[in-house]
Amino acid sequence: MRTFTLQQSRTEVYTPNGGLALVGHCLNRHTSLTKTARTVVKRHGIPNIELIRTYLGLITLGKSDFEAVEPVRTDPFFKSALGIKQSPSSARLRQRFDEDAQGLTPLLDDASVEFLQSVEAPVSPLAMGHIALDMDVFPMDNSQTRKEGVSYTYKGYDGYAPMAAYLGQEGWCLGCELRPGSQHANKGFLDTLKRVLPRARSLTDKPILLRLDSAHDARANRDFLREQDQVDFLIKWNPRKEDPLVWADKVQARKAWSLERDGKMEAVLSEAIPDEPGLRRIVKVTVRTSDAEGQLYLEPEVSLEGWVTSLPAEVADEQHIMALYSDHATSEQFHSEFKTDLDLERLPSGKFDTNNLVMAFATMGYNVLRWM
């Protein structure tokens, strides 16, 4: 049996977290946070940039709890990789974020986009040439807590429902704004959109295709988007009080049915929206008289599924529109990366603004890790 010599090096450092060196490089070389962090004035204490370096390092390691700072305060590689000169205690980190959350959050949001600009992050278009911009809410389980803003989500548990925006097929995150769990997705949406669109425009000069689910099928949203240059949209239609039988009659009049299987017929209709020039609605009408096993229904079931878009028919026909919206589901994968790669779901603070700041850190950490 071979004998090995174990010897401790006096010059080399071995660490499982070598990627922190790149995180520090991204933060210190590709953002102006060292300068902008001074705009949140503190008369004494640890500079804001030291708190930012420390917490961003923790976030990229999948550690969002403030107590996680204690072991790294004495870790020479962690401090050296991120350029940290003064390390805060967990209590001080929490206190400072509680005090300055509203001032620091927009700085992190801007720095995240600045980083993508500086590294010239690729933004890949769809086959038709548009850059996809997907916006949606996703729930974060914070049940059995009394944190500010935690309330009942559409998933059936108490938590938050942040609004995220992803650009390009790479899924760069342009923002992940925290919202109370019970807040309707469309409440305050236009304000969020007005913050996100300039960020998207700063990263690409190609036309943008904004994809939204049916919660955002509102006239105010469509009117705003029609006024934007080089921005098209594809929104899932909300049938609301539409009568499915009326649509079935329209299909019958056009003789547009196709038989998908015994007991199931489908048709796809496209029509202009009369009082909204340039927009069209694509509606898929499905009639089932039996299930897939052949069991007959007492009466036919008629269902509707539709989409509203500003894309002209020569750019995307009905089948292409449905495929484009189906691809919107890719954003679910991006949502999950906040919960897996960053291990972020149960937020660390009881204060809403502080947790919103944590999401701003998470957005930047997400982009840095995707770039790496």
DSSP assignments along 176-211, one per residue: EE--BTTS-TTTTHHHHHHHHHHHHHHH--S-EEEE
Mean pLDDT of all residues in 124-135: 96
Percent above pLDDT 90 for the chain: 77
Give the pLDDT band of residue 254 (cuts 50, 70, 90): confident
Q: What is the pLDDT of residues 10-49, one digit of tens each?
A: 666 666 677 898 999 999 999 999 999 999 988 778 999 9
Which residues are CB-contacts of 24 (< 8 A; sequence separation ≥ 6)? Answer: 53, 57, 81, 82, 83
- What is the reported pLDDT for 42? 80
- What is the reported pLDDT for 130? 97
Mean pLDDT of all residues in 120-131: 96
What's the DSSP call for residue 49? H
Residue 98 pLDDT exceeds 80: yes
Q: Do β-strands 151-152 and 158-160 pair in parallel, antiparallel, or remain unpaired?
A: antiparallel
Instruction: Report which secondary-structure segment, H or E, holds 33.
Output: helix 33-36
Could you tell me the pTM of the whole model? 0.91
Alpha-carbon separation of residue 101 from 69, 78, 351 (angstroms): 18, 24, 10
Mean pLDDT of all residues in 87-115: 96
Mean pLDDT over each residue of the chain, to the nearest integer: 92
Domain spans in the chain, listed from the N-terminal domain onward:
20-119+354-371
Q: What is the pLDDT of residues 260-272, one digit of tens each?
A: 888 899 899 999 9
Q: What is the pLDDT of residues 297-344, one digit of tens each?
A: 899 899 999 999 999 999 999 999 999 999 998 888 899 999 988 999
Mean pLDDT of all residues in 104-121: 97
Instruction: Tell me if 235 sits within 8 A of 212, measured CB to CB.
Output: yes
Residue 141 pLDDT exceeds 90: yes
